[in-house]
Structure formats: C-alpha cells, structure tokens
Amino acid sequence: MTTSDSANGSGGSTNEPGTKPPGLIQRVKALLMQPRAEWPVIEREATGIGDLYRRYALLLAAIPALALFVRSALIGYGGFGFHYRASVGAALGVAISQYVMALVSVAALAFIADFVVTKFDGASHRVNAFKLAVYSSTAAWLAGIFVAIPGLGLFGLLGLYSFYLLYTGLPVLMKVPQDKAMLCTIAIAAAAILLAIVVSALLRPATAMFGGIGGVESALHSGGEVTVPGLGTIDTARLEEAGRKLEEATQQNAHARPVDSAQLRTLLPETLGGYRRVSIETRSMGAAGVGGAQASADYERDGRRIRVELTDMAAAGALAGLGAAFNVTQEREDDSGFERTRTENGRMVRETWDATERRGSYTTTLDNRFLISVSGDADSFEALKAIAAAIDPAKLTALAR
C-alpha cells in the first residue's frame, strides 16, 4: 500500500510531467467511446486540480443545472390538462443550488476515493483522485441535458455510465487491482451517496432561500450500490458486459444522423386505437454535433386524451441500451396502481398506471435509438400499451437506413 508524496497531496499541485489535456469535446468523446484507452492518457497528463475544475468541471457541471432551469422556467411540467412553470427566480435558485452541489460533490468524491482505494490495495494520489472524480462524472453531467426535453426522462439512465467510467478508471489512476475494482467502485459510490444525503440535509435551510432543493435531491437519484434510490436495482455483475456493449454501440453509431422529424410525423396517423388526432407537432434537436428529432401528437376519444411521442436520438441513442444492459429494475404495485421499470427482450420498458384515475403511461426503447411513449387516459393499461404496439417498429427503424 502506498501513499502520495507531499507534492501530489497538495491541492494546487500538478501531476508528474506529461502531455497536456486535449480539448473539451475531444476528451468527452474519447471517454464515452474508448474509456479504457483514455484513462492511461489522462494519467500521463500534467494537470492540476484547479485546471480540472476550470477547463472541464465548471463547464460540464453547468449542463444539468441549465437544463433544469430551462425546463422549470421556460418549458414547465405538465400533462393531462395540467401545467406548471416555476418563476424565473425560483428556477434560477434551484439551478444554482444544483450547480454548486455538483461541484462540491466532485471534491467529496475525490477525497472519498483517495481514502477508500487504500482499503483495496490501491495507491492514494490526490491529483489522480480528482482526475477520477471529474472525468468519471462526464456521463452523469451530459445525461442532465435530457431534463430539459419533455418525454425524455428515461434517458436520465445514461448517467449510469459514470459508474462504469469510475470502475475502469480505478485500476489505472489509483492502482486498484482489477479483481478488486468492482468492490472498490461499489464502496466509493455507497460512501459518496451517503455523504450527499447528509450534506443535502445540512444545506436544506440555505437552499430553501433559492427556491427549493429539488435539483439537489434529483442528483441523488442516480447511482448506488445495488439498490438506487428512486430508480431501482442494478445488476452490478453485468458492469463489464454493459460497458463493453455501450462502447461498441457508441462507436458504431458515432456518425448516425437523426431522421427528418417530418418523417416521424408520418407514423402518427389521424386515428390510433379508436382515438382521433387533434394536434401534432415536430421538433429537431442538436448540440455539440449530436442531433435528434421528435414528433408528438395528442389524440381524443369520448372525453379521454392521450399523447404519443416518437423520438430519434441518433448517435446519442446508442446509450439508450445502458439501462437494459445493467438490467435496471423497479416495481411498486398496490390497489391504486403500479410503477414498473424493467428489461424486456433487450429493451428498457417503463410502465405506470393509476387505477383510480384510469390514467397511465407506457415507454419503451427500440434498437437502442428510438423512444416510443404513450401517456394519458384509457379504459385499461393494456389498452394504452396496445396503442404503443400499433406504431409499426419496422417502419420506424426503416427511417434510419
């Protein structure tokens, strides 16, 4: 067991002489597509803790905070005739709280990792611990952008890839033996979540002044040991397989272009499952070279209303299979209804049903690229699910060819 020397233990020090870090976009792509090859590159870089924050963390950690602000203040939340949009002041306060919490959490994760690795025959190294904390958070920060897009909440699961990044980085940066890397990853994640819960409780009075702590609390709903609060359980035994499949899928779809949203629109007919279409809209998305398209329509029948959404995530859609690869599951059922998340034939499926209101939702992925979602009022959940099944999957996937 070894410890870092006095230079590396200091917060403002730099690592041993080496190469300089690449640009932000290049680093993000390399981490997502080839993490095992990128970690050794990161280890050799002469980077101080301050640089890690200035050139990387401060920029990427702002993504979920900005997405939360846009969704809360500009887009709002709602469905089934109800809509809520927070005031600019309240939304800004929550976004600032989440941003600050994200930056503090990175430092906490680094200190935790620097200590925990020594219990698994790893080497304490303060700068490398910060490299590990900052760069392994990449996927979680990027996944935060989906908060701003209605109907794409399921893609918050993409943040789980940070769990894999942490796992692959430990043997390289902290010298944890490969056969102990999994247990070390779980121990670090568990300790970090526990600390985040305590810190969140302590900061509750202060964050209340900024309009609430919803954004901070939502950050706690990703990751965990085996059971993830607000998400379900993760089969950690599949970590290696899931990460490998995700790397392959990301590389294969790196240059995929989203289909024309007008083409998605053609798959939303005037009538569907006995419901008549009353409105339809399309939108295109694009950021940092990653695009997407969505078409949605509202249908009515005998006073009941449903919404059908078709989404193409193009290159980013390769990450959609992550939850299925990890076999993420969650189930709650009682007399009033149920909520379920599971993997079915290699696809993520999310189901909810309120038996009292006779209202629910059904969301599933297709080909690790498309998302089909149906939500609203129906005679039964099976009727709602049948509407989703009426969307021809062959025609949807054919659009990508």
The two three-digit tokens of residue 86, written as one number: 């927070």
Of these ranges, 141-145, 157-161, 219-223, the one predicted with the greatest mean pLDDT is 141-145
CATH number of the domain encompassing residue 319: 3.40.1000
Band of residue 261 on the pLDDT scale cut at 50, 70, 90: confident
Q: What are the tens digits of pLDDT across the range 30-67?
A: 888 889 999 999 999 988 898 898 889 888 888 887 77
Q: Give the domain range for residue 291.
A: 261-398
Partner residues linked to 353 by β-bridges = 338, 360
Band of residue 218 on the pLDDT scale cut at 50, 70, 90: very low
Question: What's the gap between Cα 169 and its chain centre?
Answer: 19
Residue 124 and residue 284 in contact, taking contact as beta carbons nearer than 8 Å: no
Of these ranges, 92-96, 182-186, 272-276, the one predicted with the greatest mean pLDDT is 272-276
Percent of the chain with pLDDT over 90: 23
Burial of 68 (0-12, 13-18, 19+ CB in 10 A): buried
User: What pLDDT is stored for residue 159 in this prediction?
Assistant: 62
Percent of the chain with pLDDT over 70: 63
What type of residue sits at position 230?
Answer: G
Q: What crossing angle do the helices spanning 88-116 and 126-136 adopt, rounded to 10°?
A: 140
Regarding whether 160 and 28 lie in a shared domain, the answer is yes
Task: Pick the more confident residue, 267 or 155.
Answer: 267
Q: What are the tens digits of pLDDT across the range 132-153?
A: 999 999 888 887 776 655 555 5
What is the number of domains present in the chain? 2
Q: Tokens 């949203």 — which residue?
A: 261
Regarding whether 296 and 184 lie in a shared domain, the answer is no
Regarding whether 385 and 307 lie in a shared domain, the answer is yes
Q: Which of 234, 249, 284 is the last residue of a domain?
A: 234
Regarding whether 191 and 69 lie in a shared domain, the answer is yes
* Domain contains 240: no
Regarding whether 207 and 62 lie in a shared domain, the answer is yes
Regarding whether 279 and 154 lie in a shared domain, the answer is no
User: What pLDDT is stored for residue 277 in this prediction?
Assistant: 96
* Domain contains 246: no
* Domain contains 225: yes
Band of residue 293 on the pLDDT scale cut at 50, 70, 90: confident
Regarding whether 272 and 220 lie in a shared domain, the answer is no
User: What pLDDT is stored for residue 32 in this prediction?
Assistant: 82
User: What pLDDT is stored for residue 211 in this prediction?
Assistant: 36
Regarding whether 352 and 294 lie in a shared domain, the answer is yes
User: What pLDDT is stored for residue 301 in this prediction?
Assistant: 92
User: What pLDDT is stored for residue 398 in this prediction?
Assistant: 86
Residues 6+ apart with CB under 8 A from 302: none
Work out the mean pLDDT of the chain and round it to a whole number. 73
User: What pLDDT is stored for residue 174 in this prediction?
Assistant: 95
Q: Tokens 């305590």 — which residue?
A: 198
Whether 177 has a pLDDT exceeding 90, the answer reads yes
Regarding whether 280 and 218 lie in a shared domain, the answer is no
Regarding whether 24 and 143 lie in a shared domain, the answer is yes
Q: What are the tens digits of pLDDT across the range 223-257?
A: 333 343 333 444 545 555 555 555 555 555 555 67
* Domain contains 144: yes
User: What pLDDT is stored for residue 238 in this prediction?
Assistant: 53
Q: Which of 219, 234, 249 is the last residue of a domain?
A: 234
What is the rounded CA–CA span in Å between residue 192 and residue 183? 14
* Domain contains 255: no
* Domain contains 54: yes
Q: Give the mean pLDDT of 311-337.
A: 67
* Domain contains 251: no
Of these ranges, 4-18, 20-34, 309-323, the one predicted with the greatest mean pLDDT is 20-34
Q: Give the mean pLDDT of 394-401.
A: 82
Regarding whether 104 and 35 lie in a shared domain, the answer is yes
* Domain contains 256: no
Q: Give the mean pLDDT of 191-205.
A: 57
Task: Pick the more confident residue, 384 or 343.
Answer: 384
Q: Which of 315, 291, 308, 283 is nearest to 391 (CA)?
A: 308
Residues 6+ apart with CB under 8 A from 340: 330, 331, 332, 333, 349, 350, 351, 352
Regarding whether 186 and 151 lie in a shared domain, the answer is yes
The two three-digit tokens of residue 140, written as one number: 């979680």
